[in-house]
Amino acid sequence: MSEHHEQSFWSKYIFSLDHKVIGKQFLWLGLFFVLFGGFQALLIRWQLAYPEQPVPWWLLGDILFSDTGGIIDPDKYNALFTMHGTIMIFWAITPLLIGAFGNFVIPLQIGAPDMAFPKLNMISFWTMVLASIVLLGSYFLPEGTAAGGWTSYPPLSSPVGGIAGEGQTLWTLALTLAGTSSMMGAINYIITVVRLRAPGMTYFKMPLTVWGLWLTSILNAIFVPVIAAGLILLLMDRTIGTQFFISGGLATVDGGDPLLYQHVFWIFGHPEVYILILPAWGIVSDLLSVFSRKPAFGYKVTAIAMTTVASLSMLVWGHHMYTTGMSPLLGKSFMFLTLLISIPSAMFFFNWLGTLWKGSIKFDPPMLFAMSVMWVFGIGGLTGLYNATITADIYLHDTMFVVGHFHYTMAASVLFGSFAAIYFWFPKMFDRKMNPFLGKLHFWVSFIPLNYVFFNMMVLGYGGHHRRIYDPSNYDFLKPMMWLNEYITWFAIALGLAQLIFVYNFIHSMLKGEKAEANPWGAATLEWTLEAPIPHGNFETVPTIYNGPHEYSNPKVKDRDWISQSEPISS
């Protein structure tokens, strides 16, 4: 390291093959885009609360919208909600939970020296960087970035009658590249879990975090190739004049079908919801056990229920398309299958309650976030039933109710799951502790505004507030609810400000935080047996696994209330 200093900087931090470093790289990428996408949300909220009033300086109004005197014009507004959704889903949550924690945690928790294909892992990250450059590059085009909504339905995303300029084209290209990165990751994660588990680490001794990430990778492997095919067709429509998704008056030839795009998009898009949330479910299942000092209740049932949800998620995409004139028989089938998902979901949800029951709960920041996932996911799941039921959905479709619902499941559950993961694994990643007081403060000042924002969005939606309108004050029936829009905006701003606490805590703790011991939480999984700094290659000797991942408060263990997976229990 001392001889080849310059060389080793590049191979150690930039083009590293070490899964721990690549995990951190994904973490930085994800955190950057969380803040970027979150900021766009505030601009959207500003327009909804104070339509066509200049954006204040502290939201960078005079810099970003200088040519319109700080006012967000309709085109820019379309671009804002499009890119907010795209970035949060594909560039923030995906790199955070799957890229960062998938990489960092999977090999450590299964006792592997690294991923099965370290080079592929590195290429996967740099493909994501390339995708990010293409995506951000679209902002600098004369006609601006994509503006067809995060779903980019044709004809909104069509070259004729849709979004002008190349922004939408770059969007499609960037998403294809991000998908390629995900596919490489999926191959790597799946093979790593199948092949590199330490002796004794059977599938039913794997931590539930690994279960979640593994199932996510399987869904990624199955469905990202499908959306990739769809995106290639969309790209052809936009560049070489095919008309796969264009029909009616916009088409010059017959045969194209915009509904085909919707089918392809949602065949992928619904599993994508579970791709994002399965890791969070796994992490929450493990953390509830660690901080209740009790084995996870119904461990096997949770693993099997998660697998069942993953399987069912392949058959329900039609519930996004009830209002496209699909046959009632088909619609009812999709509705039945969708509602069926609530059974396995309820199974692991009650298992979570079972884990907490009579536990000696420690309210550390990771636990607060993990428990809050139960609350927000509970609300998100229950309101999903309204959207899954055709009769209710025909009224609620495309309203703010849907926005509130999926922000509870995606933004809230997945983001809080990510926060739980960051607070939990920070000592292992950076060898230092995060400030627990600031962590708890961050939790409360995030949790309260977040609920206010997203619950009231559902209220607005029930009042008929469409999800993508530019100026709600144009509609008489929405005027009485403008005050609610204003309140939501101010709570959203509070939620945004709360993240500054996190940013400060994160950076300060990383540089100057208190040194962490090897196992600060008294956790039983393998990564906590390693002393920092963990070398490239992780384990000096391959560990042998004796116990399940949740050996807490075992009466056979005398001096402490946990025992590592690699330590035999002597009786």
Residues that bind other proteins (CB under 8 A): 116-117, 183, 186-187, 190-191, 194-195, 197, 199-202, 221-226, 228-230, 232-233, 236, 240-244, 252-257, 260, 264, 544-547, 568-569, 571
The CB-of-158 to Cu ion minimum distance in angstroms stands at 24
- Beta-strand (E) ranges in 133-180? none
Quick one: 386 or 425, whose CB is closer to Cu ion? 386
The CB-of-244 to other proteins minimum distance in angstroms stands at 6
Stretch that binds Cu ion, among 94-102, 205-213, 267-275, 353-361 (CB under 5 A): 267-275
* Position 405 contacts Cu ion (CB under 5 A): no
Nearest to 235 by CA among 166, 303, 323, 182: 166
Q: Which residues contact 425 (CB under 8 A, 6 or more apart)?
A: 101, 104, 105, 527
User: 550 is in the binding site of which of other proteins, Cu ion, none (Cβ under 5 to 8 A by kind)?
Assistant: none
User: 201 is in the binding site of which of Cu ion, other proteins, none (Cβ under 5 to 8 A by kind)?
Assistant: other proteins
Quick one: 55 or 131, whose CB is closer to other proteins? 131
The CB-of-320 to Cu ion minimum distance in angstroms stands at 5
- The answer to whether residues 288 and 371 touch, using CB atoms and an 8 Å cutoff, is yes
How many other C-beta atoms are found inside a 10 Å radius of the C-beta of residue 358?
9
The CB-of-461 to Cu ion minimum distance in angstroms stands at 17
The CB-of-289 to other proteins minimum distance in angstroms stands at 17
The CB-of-359 to other proteins minimum distance in angstroms stands at 21
Nearest to 48 by CA among 488, 401, 459, 396: 488
Nearest to 239 by CA among 180, 174, 165, 154: 165
* Position 270 contacts Cu ion (CB under 5 A): yes
The CB-of-506 to other proteins minimum distance in angstroms stands at 35
Q: Report the alpha-carbon distance of residue 149 to residue 400 in Å, rounded.
A: 14
Q: Transcribe 181-248 into DSSP letters.
A: HHHHHHHHHHHHHHH-PPTT--GGGS-HHHHHHHHHHHHHHHHHHHHHHHHHHHHHHHHT---TT--G
215 to 254: interface string for Cu ion, x by CB under 5 A? ----------------------------------------
User: 199 is in the binding site of which of Cu ion, other proteins, none (Cβ under 5 to 8 A by kind)?
Assistant: other proteins
Nearest to 243 by CA among 151, 171, 159: 159
User: 221 is in the binding site of which of other proteins, Cu ion, none (Cβ under 5 to 8 A by kind)?
Assistant: other proteins
User: 436 is in the binding site of which of Cu ion, other proteins, none (Cβ under 5 to 8 A by kind)?
Assistant: none
Q: Which two tokens stand for residue 387?
A: 């959207």
The CB-of-368 to Cu ion minimum distance in angstroms stands at 29
User: 537 is in the binding site of which of Cu ion, other proteins, none (Cβ under 5 to 8 A by kind)?
Assistant: none
Q: Report the alpha-carbon distance of residue 258 to residue 462 in Å, rounded.
A: 28
How many other C-beta atoms are found inside a 10 Å radius of the C-beta of residue 269?
18
Total of residues contacting Cu ion (CB under 5 A): 1
User: 362 is in the binding site of which of Cu ion, other proteins, none (Cβ under 5 to 8 A by kind)?
Assistant: none
Q: What are phi and psi of 515, to 5 degrees?
A: -60, 135
User: 243 is in the binding site of which of other proteins, Cu ion, none (Cβ under 5 to 8 A by kind)?
Assistant: other proteins
- Beta-strand (E) ranges in 477-553? none
Quick one: 207 or 271, whose CB is closer to Cu ion? 271
The CB-of-191 to other proteins minimum distance in angstroms stands at 5
Query: Coil, strand, or helix at residue 32?
Result: helix
User: 569 is in the binding site of which of other proteins, Cu ion, none (Cβ under 5 to 8 A by kind)?
Assistant: other proteins
Site for Cu ion in 500-539 (CB under 5 A): none
Quick one: 245 or 281, whose CB is closer to other proteins? 245
54 to 93: interface string for Cu ion, x by CB under 5 A? ----------------------------------------
User: 270 is in the binding site of which of other proteins, Cu ion, none (Cβ under 5 to 8 A by kind)?
Assistant: Cu ion
The CB-of-229 to other proteins minimum distance in angstroms stands at 3
Site for Cu ion in 542-571 (CB under 5 A): none
For the chain, give the longest Cα–Cα distance. 79
Q: What are phi and psi of 432, to 5 degrees?
A: -135, 165
Stretch that binds Cu ion, among 29-37, 236-244, 269-277, 370-378 (CB under 5 A): 269-277
Quick one: 63 or 194, whose CB is closer to other proteins? 194
The CB-of-90 to Cu ion minimum distance in angstroms stands at 16
Quick one: 39 or 546, whose CB is closer to other proteins? 546
Quick one: 244 or 423, whose CB is closer to other proteins? 244
Q: Report the alpha-carbon distance of residue 317 to residue 334 in Å, rounded.
A: 7
The CB-of-267 to other proteins minimum distance in angstroms stands at 8
Q: Report the alpha-carbon distance of residue 399 to residue 85 in Å, rounded.
A: 15
Q: Which residues of 302-317 are buried (b: 16+ CB within 10 A; e: fewer)?
A: bbbbbbbbbebbebbb
Q: Which residue, chain included where needed, has tokens 């945004």?
A: 496
Q: Which two tokens stand for residue 153?
A: 């339905």
Query: Coil, strand, or helix at residue 562?
Result: strand
Quick one: 264 or 368, whose CB is closer to other proteins? 264
Stretch that binds Cu ion, among 100-108, 113-121, 262-270, 433-441 (CB under 5 A): 262-270
Quick one: 264 or 273, whose CB is closer to other proteins? 264
Q: Which residues of 290-300 are buried (b: 16+ CB within 10 A; e: fewer)?
A: bbbbbbbbbbe
- The answer to whether residues 373 and 450 touch, using CB atoms and an 8 Å cutoff, is no
Query: Coil, strand, or helix at residue 483?
Result: helix
The CB-of-262 to Cu ion minimum distance in angstroms stands at 12
User: 229 is in the binding site of which of other proteins, Cu ion, none (Cβ under 5 to 8 A by kind)?
Assistant: other proteins
For residues 88, 220, 96, 493, the Cα torsion angle rounded to the nearest 10 degrees is: 20
Give contact residues for Cu ion (rule: CB under 5 A): 270
